[in-house]
Amino acid sequence: MNFQWYPGHMTKAIRMMQENIKLIDIIIELTDARIPAAGRNPDIDELGKNKYRLIILNKADLADPKVTKEWKEFYQKQGYFVMEMNSKTGNEQGKVKELVQNACAEKIERDKKRGIVGRPIRAMVAGIPNVGKSTFINKLAGKAAAKTGNKPGVTKGKQWIALGKNMQLLDTPGILWPKFEDEEVGLHLALIGSMNDDNLDGTELACELIRILKESYPNAINEKYNITKEQLEELENEQYATPLSAVLSAIAINRKCFKQGAQPDMDRAAALLLDDFRNGRLGKLSLERPNA
């Protein structure tokens, strides 16, 4: 499956970020807590050289809390300021602002010695598409300051948002990068919805999700869709069935997704599975671990 998706506005976005980086004190990078490695754009690391850094493990309510804790410690050891949050319902605004102040303490002290007092900290909010940047900003601002949506590509231009007198945020579009060296990175991005689903094979993507979850959370799918061992064995014995497609067939049968002729509708079952995973209805699941 081809996981490349790099529409034209992303080229403009990275150029805009490069032009504005000289105005920035700190980069607040949001990554999805379910894929904290694949969800980080390497271009942002390059852009953020010599800048203070804060990593937000967002959508932590959808991820395995034990694994999220491991990722938090992993990035802290690399020198980043790190926190986990759920920007939709969480009330961590004060903690975010406190961490930004702590991260920029050296710069604030340097300004004081130069007689510069009260200059707001300027933060660039960056990350991949559909990671929740605009929702995060709106939480911090306490109002609808940025457009939100559950599809990638909602934010297409820059906008400055003032958070009182002490901080200004530069909202930026979600950006991917032109080529994934590792196909698994592209797969993980596709699974959480950071790519346009119209460009992907949903059935194949769902089978890849089944493969990953069978290794890390072997009971998650079977328990959610009431799939029994006997049902899987029967489906696997059918002609052309593979262990992964058998699971998808069982989901279709148990959720009554049928085509004409009572054939399991694999496309509908795939869409159902992906939607349940993306919205946390399969449980708190992480696709990546730092020791991997």
Would you say residue 184 lies in a domain? no
Six token digits for residue 87: 């920007």
- The one-letter amino acid code at 76 reads Q
Residue at a domain's end among 171, 190, 218: 171
CB 192 within 8 A of CB 39: yes
Q: Are residues 228 and 166 in the same domain?
A: no
Q: Are residues 38 and 120 in the same domain?
A: yes
CB 127 within 8 A of CB 28: no
CB 221 within 8 A of CB 273: yes
Q: What is the CATH number of the domain that holds 225?
A: 1.10.1580.10
Would you say residue 127 lies in a domain? yes
Give the residue ranges of the chain where pLDDT is below 70: 1-9, 87, 90, 143-158, 178, 240, 292
pLDDT in tens, 132-185: 888 888 888 876 655 444 444 444 456 788 888 889 999 888 888 767 778 899
Distance of CA 219 to the CA centre of its chain: 24
The predicted structure's pLDDT at residue 35: 97
The verdict on pTM exceeding 0.85 is yes
Number of structural domains (the chain) is 2
The predicted structure's pLDDT at residue 149: 44
Domain that holds residue 117: 8-171
